[in-house]
Amino acid sequence: MDKKASRLRRARQTRIKIAELGVNRLAVHRTNLHIYANIISGDGTKVLVSASTAEPDLRKELGGNGGNAAAAALVGKRVAEKAKSAGIESVAFDRSGFRYHGRVKALAEAAREAGLKF
């Protein structure tokens, strides 16, 4: 089993539980260069809100380096602000099989501080 398959295996149980609950989920994906955050509807069919370090205005603000915890915190704050404006107050956190550490943790804590509940 390769690294990606192991991560997806770890993510599967969390996604099953979130689907049972039927709530919106904050899905996080990270690569070496960027971090992405999407709020997906409870039935899993539609992306309601998204933010990432690949967005042009965020890239200008970061100076090009989107692969650190400070960049992840900005993405977390931005996705929470967009969610508030879309009327989304609470979500379930889906870390997509990544460890709750470093950039994933920074994104989650920044989203909580900006007023998103999970």
User: Phi first, then psi: what are they for 67, rounded to 5°?
Assistant: -105, 35
Q: Spell out the residues 6+ positions from residue 33 whose beta carbon is closer than 8 angstroms to its own.
A: 53, 66, 67
Q: SS3 string of 56-109?
A: HHHHHHHCCCCCCHHHHHHHHHHHHHHHHHCCCCECEEECCCCCCCCHHHHHHH
- In tens, the pLDDT along 7-31 reads 999 999 999 999 999 999 999 999 9
User: Residue 40: what pLDDT?
Assistant: 97
pLDDT of residue 106: 97
CA–CA dist 60, 118 (Å, integer): 29
All structural domains of the chain, each given as residue ranges with its CATH number in brackets, are 3-113 (3.30.420.100)
Q: What is the pLDDT along the chain (118 residues), one digit of tens a residue?
A: 899 999 999 999 999 999 999 999 999 999 999 999 999 999 989 999 999 999 999 999 888 788 899 999 999 999 999 999 999 999 999 999 999 999 999 999 999 999 999 8
pLDDT at residue 110, as a whole number: 97
pLDDT, residue 92, reads 96
